[in-house]
Amino acid sequence: MLPNPLIQIPREQLEKLLKEAGNSQSVEQFLNQTGIQEAVATHEIYNKRARAARWSRIWLLISAFISASSFLSGPNPEDAIATLLLGGMTVLEFRVHTWFLQTDPRAPLWGYRNQCLFALLFLAYGAYHVLVPTPSTELAEFAGENLTGAIEHLETIIYTAIGVGGAMGQYILALYYRRAEKSPRG
């Protein structure tokens, strides 16, 4: 585990450390150095991303849990693949969260990759269900033949919205993560 590069210490201790190191700068002069200011700005940007990753890891964990529950209640290849992918992505998102907290430069790239994969999963899920509809026999019996076409059309709209909307949301988060490494202002 990498230590946090910004360790908060009381002003008096910093002043003492500067004197012991033979540095004649005041605490204010030391803290106003460009390198120190950039480190503080980067740390603040990474902390904002860590808050986003905290929620994202919960979302991924819930998604993986739902997928695993669905697989356990009726094993099928779709749920097996989704459970494996979401499980791996959840583990990585927990790492990304920790890296952001530690101001580790790996966080933006790996967070970006993980969220792009999640966006692709949304697109694949939506496209699969639009291209390979799974008719519900219970729903067809309940609605009757008159409404079956309308229900199928509604399912197409819903799965398209899930695929495109979910992918857009995750890709926006991916860009937010990635922006942490590109801009000192975040």
65-78 pLDDT, tens digit per residue, is 999 999 999 999 98
The pLDDT of residue 176 is above 80:
yes
pTM of the shown model = 0.77
Q: Which pLDDT score is estimated for 120?
A: 95
Phi, psi of 47 (to 5 degrees): -65, -40
Task: Scan for tokens 């540095």, then name that residue.
Answer: 23
132-154 pLDDT, tens digit per residue, is 877 666 666 666 666 667 777 88
With contact defined as beta carbons under 8 Å apart, do 39 and 5 qualify? yes
Element (H, E) at 180: helix 145-182
Residue 24: which pLDDT band, with cuts at 50, 70 and 90? confident
Phi, psi of 74 (to 5 degrees): -165, 85
Separation of alpha carbons 81 and 79, rounded Å: 6
